[in-house]
Amino acid sequence: MIKVVISGALGKMGQESCRAVLNTADMMLVGALDTKCVGRKLGEVLGIENVNVVINNNLKDVLQESAPDVMVDFTNPNVVFDNVKTAIACGVRPVVGTTGLSEDQIRELKVMAAKKQLGGLIAPNFAIGALLMIKFSAMAARYFPDVEIIEMHHDQKIDAPSGTALRTAEVLADVRGDMKQGCSEEYEKIDGVRGGNFKGMRIHSVRLPGYVAHQEVIFGGVGQTLVIRHDAISRKAFMPGLLMGIRKVMNINEMVYGLENLIF
Ligand code: NAP
């Protein structure tokens, strides 16, 4: 039985994760953290019977008292780094869905986990379809180096571009290199209208109500375009990958970045 604590348990992803872990036979939810409803029973707040885990806001206390195997983090970019450091210090394997960690922070967390020989996962995207989108995009970039990314998310998302868009761009850059594309005399009549520039690729972030998490990778070639698109239309899309990640970190002794590096 894998004992799991969920940080950000009352957020959109956290609630879905609590339900997924509670419905999984080889996992046990032993702790739930959030800033809201502290002291109340998680089951009461989520409307699930017989769930007596009490919501807490002190991660260290919860990790020490409930001795979990894994801490899942779906909080926000401002707190995730400290949460993961606390988990590693307590010998708890982090499975991190929160996006917004910098390259330096990821490097530091990998070093910390390596010193403790502790398994962990930082996964900008748990949706298997999105991971396949990235894999297929890397294949396409060998033949179509001119590419732009459009990602679309709900309007409460605070970081841009999305972790998935950034990960896609990194993988594409490994294939096509740092390459200027488009017209050399191009200029913007409105600042930022051509999107963010990552190694010559443009990334555009759309934020609107109604979206969950969507992305198009658009390749342009002579006389043709190719679009690879993924749509997560429900947060349930992330759960099979999250559960796989939780199981996988039990059998590794390093911090891995990207679920694709554990499952493909
Ligand atoms: P959300 O609805 O805002 O949920 C975050 C929750 O964490 C909120 O309830 C928040 O409380 C709580 N929180 C804030 N600080 C905390 C702390 N110190 N300790 C414990 N809980 C804390 O956000 P979301 O939509 O669930 O997304 C969460 C993160 O997951 C984002 O970074 C998002 O980009 C990422 N995400 C990743 C994937 C993936 O597949 N990897 C998929 C979707 C989303 P307050 O409201 O009081 O701040």
End-to-end CA, the chain? 25
Q: Whose CA is nearest to atom 30 of ligand 1?
A: 98
For CATH 3.40.50.720, list the domain ranges present in the chain. 2-122+236-263
**Residue 231 and residue 152: Cα distance in Å, rounded?**
9
β-pairing, 93-96 vs 120-122, is: parallel
* Per-residue CA distances from 213 to 123, 136, 209 (Å): 15, 18, 11
At residue 240, what are phi and psi to the nearest 5 degrees?
-60, -40
How far does residue 90's CA lie from ligand 1's centre (Å)? Answer: 22
Q: Whose CA is nearest to atom 42 of ligand 1?
A: 125
Which numeric CATH code is attached to 128-233?
Answer: 3.30.360.10
How far does residue 192's CA lie from ligand 1's centre (Å)? Answer: 27
How far does residue 241's CA lie from ligand 1's centre (Å)? Answer: 17
Q: Among residues 77, 78, 76, 27, which one has the least CA distance to residue 53?
A: 27
Strand-pair partners of 95: 72, 121
- Quote the tokens at residue 109: 């967390």
pLDDT of residue 67: 98
Q: Each residue of 62-115: pLDDT tens digit?
A: 999 999 999 999 999 999 999 999 999 999 999 999 999 999 999 999 999 999
**Residue 202 and residue 30: Cα distance in Å, rounded?**
43
In the three-class reduction of DSSP (H, G, I as helix; E, B as strand; rest coil), residue 1 is classed as coil
pLDDT of residue 135: 96
Q: Among residues 61, 12, 10, which one has the least CA distance to residue 37?
A: 10
Q: Each residue of 142-192: pLDDT tens digit?
A: 999 999 999 999 999 999 999 899 989 999 999 999 999 999 999 999 999
Question: Given pLDDT bands bounded at 50, 70 and 90, which one contains residue 255?
Answer: very high
* Per-residue CA distances from 154 to 7, 9, 205, 206, 225 (Å): 21, 19, 11, 8, 27
DSSP secondary structure code for residue 54 in this structure: B
Which pTM does this prediction carry? 0.90
Q: Does ligand 1 lie within 6 Å of residue 74's CB atom?
A: yes
**Mean pLDDT over residues 25-40, rounded?**
98
**Residue 19 and residue 71: Cα distance in Å, rounded?**
15
How far does residue 144's CA lie from ligand 1's centre (Å)? Answer: 36
8 Å CB contact between 76 and 158: yes
pLDDT of residue 200: 97
Question: Which helix (H) or strand (E) is 224 found in, with range?
Answer: strand 224-232
Query: Taking 90 as the threshold, does the pLDDT of residue 124 lie above it?
Result: no
Question: What average pLDDT is seen over the chain?
Answer: 97
For CATH 3.30.360.10, list the domain ranges present in the chain. 128-233
Q: Does ligand 1 lie within 6 Å of residue 258's CB atom?
A: no
Confirm or reject CATH 3.40.50.720 for domain 2-122+236-263, answering yes or no: yes
Q: Which of 85, 157, 180, 236 is catalytic?
A: 157
8 Å CB contact between 259 and 241: yes
**Residue 249 and residue 72: Cα distance in Å, rounded?**
11
pLDDT of residue 144: 98
Q: Does ligand 1 lie within 6 Å of residue 219's CB atom?
A: no
